[in-house]
Amino acid sequence: MSRPRVVIVGAGLGGCILAHALLESHDVTLVERGAPGAHGDFPLVDVGWPAGTEPHIGAGPGGSTQLWHNGLIEIDEEVFTAGWPFLKDELARYYGQAFQLLSGVPQERVTAAIDLLRRKYAELGLPGRQLPGLFYPRWPMNVWQALELDGKVALVKGDVTGFEFAAPAHIRALLLHSGGEQARLEGDVFVLAAGGLGSPVLLQKLAHQCPLPSLRHAGHHYEDHPMGFVGEVEVTVPVYKLWNFFVAGTGGNLRLPLVVKQNGLDVSFQLRPAAAYYREGKRERVGSVLNELRRAPWNLFTYLKLFSHWDDVLDILSFKFGVNLPTKHYTLLMTAQMPPAEALAIWAETDAATGRVRRLRRWVLTDGYKLDLRAAIDELLRQLQPVLKRARVFPDWPAALRTGAHHSGTARMSRSSDDGVCDADCRVHGLANLYVCDGSVIPASGIANTGLTIGALALRLGAHLKQGAL
């Protein structure tokens, strides 16, 4: 008896973990449109708030895991209760499996370290409403390479141009533009894993052929995390000892962001040890070159940039070598939850000048939202008062906000097609054999990096599809 054929569009985090989960039960084909890295043939254009991070999407086997050192953190339980079609308990065991897969570390070991670090925060008099644990494995991971998928799955390079139906609710094949020619790829199950900026565009193509009510939501409900350095503080307690807290036996480091709630939204802050204090003029524009170093460790020019990013030097000494230099000075690195954008935020069009198809993103940070963020900064400083000596908010902090590259919500899960694209099993409402498995299905992320949740959802979908294949 032949095994079911699953075709996964996108070889990033969700696509690779799902492929890995299905190797024993399915014949797996991965469709990837780009070459490794940030592929220039498929540009992204910001027509709203600029990204401020370049690149913030990846292409080729491994997707954005080629670009980022993925911080592992769970979405908070109250976010599930308020915005998801199921409770967090449903994802608990898959969170544990994904954590082990993405770090090589048992999650229980890091959970124990989070409890220890929370106590240390309390001993210093730091506020602790939630203190979620953000764990960084010692080394970044390209999931395609780490899961050793080369040769185990069929890899097809191509761009999806359409869908062929066997019945009104059943897809029989994908239509591809591959190697300058049109091609056709049959399957029993199809999964879109092209990312929060890619999958909604594919669903919009599908809507032209199959105008389901659920597909009206494709590209809507967009969430990302605005991030940026918003100020600096001097404190009276040795917070530097807890920065990049080394988790024994893991080779990785743990951070506990300070979280405040403002107007129903969570806003997190990391106190990052600062080499320079009370910046003036251009020096207020705190930045980082660490991601450039991770992507191009042999580029000498990037190392030279460290001479203008001394805070990065402190970070490297702490993260890589466990050296925490004493300081009372810290910059405030903010990562904020944002309300989902109800209007269309992600779509594609043909550039009249070049003839190339490009994706567009309309990321909107309203004046009212920026006022909420400013109120959150003030609330954090109020909570820090017992240990605070001085503080200053950068006057132009909103201009420095950039994308967290956690593109979510654009094919979100929902209880019905009235509110989203996919059901609780990540299947597109109204279709029998089309699923979505990437950040676009996440209906609410709070302040959490989405990588661990994408991995957990991929493992959960893998278990669901394996059960159907038996």
**The pLDDT of residue 128:** 72
**The pLDDT of residue 377:** 98
Average pLDDT of span 292-310:
51
Task: Give strand ranges (E) for 38-124.
Answer: 44-46
**Between β-strands 181-186 and 189-192, what pairing exists: parallel, antiparallel or unpaired?**
unpaired
SS3 label, residue 84: coil
Rounded distance between C-alpha atoms, residue 338 and residue 408, angstroms: 11
Rounded distance between C-alpha atoms, residue 431 and residue 443, angstroms: 19
The β-bridge partners of 227 are 335, 402
DSSP state of 243: T
The β-bridge partners of 59 are 37
Average pLDDT of span 33-60:
75
**The pLDDT of residue 53:** 79
* Omega cis (within 30) before 326: no
Rg (CA), the chain: 22
- pLDDT-derived band at 320 (thresholds 50, 70, 90) equals low
Q: Which CATH number applies to 1-70+140-224+343-355+405-470: 3.40.50.300, 3.30.56.10, 3.50.50.60, 3.30.70.2200?
A: 3.50.50.60
Average pLDDT of span 206-217:
96
300 vs 201, more confident:
201
Q: Which of 42-56, 135-149, 356-370 has the lowest mean pLDDT?
A: 42-56
Residues 53-82 have pLDDT tens digits of 777 777 888 888 888 888 999 999 999 999
Structure tokens at 378: 């003030």
Q: Which helix (H) or strand (E) holds 335?
A: strand 329-336
Residues 358-392 have pLDDT tens digits of 899 999 999 999 999 999 999 999 999 999 999 99
Phi, psi angles (nearest 5°) of residue 229: -85, 120
Rounded distance between C-alpha atoms, residue 153 and residue 268, angstroms: 40
Average pLDDT of span 114-142:
89
**Is 305's pLDDT higher than 90?**
no
Give, in order, the Cα–Cα distances in Å from 452 to each of 30, 89, 347.
Answer: 21, 15, 26
**The pLDDT of residue 316:** 56
**Under 8 Å between Cβ of 192 and 12:** no
- pLDDT-derived band at 209 (thresholds 50, 70, 90) equals very high
**The pLDDT of residue 87:** 97
**Exposure b/e, 389-426, CB count within 10 A at least 16 = b:** eebeebeebbebbbbbbbbbbbbbbbeebeebbbbeeb
Look at the block and give the residue holding tokens 């059901």.
423
pTM value surpassing 0.85: yes
Q: What angle do CA 309, 270, 108 make, to 5 degrees?
A: 120
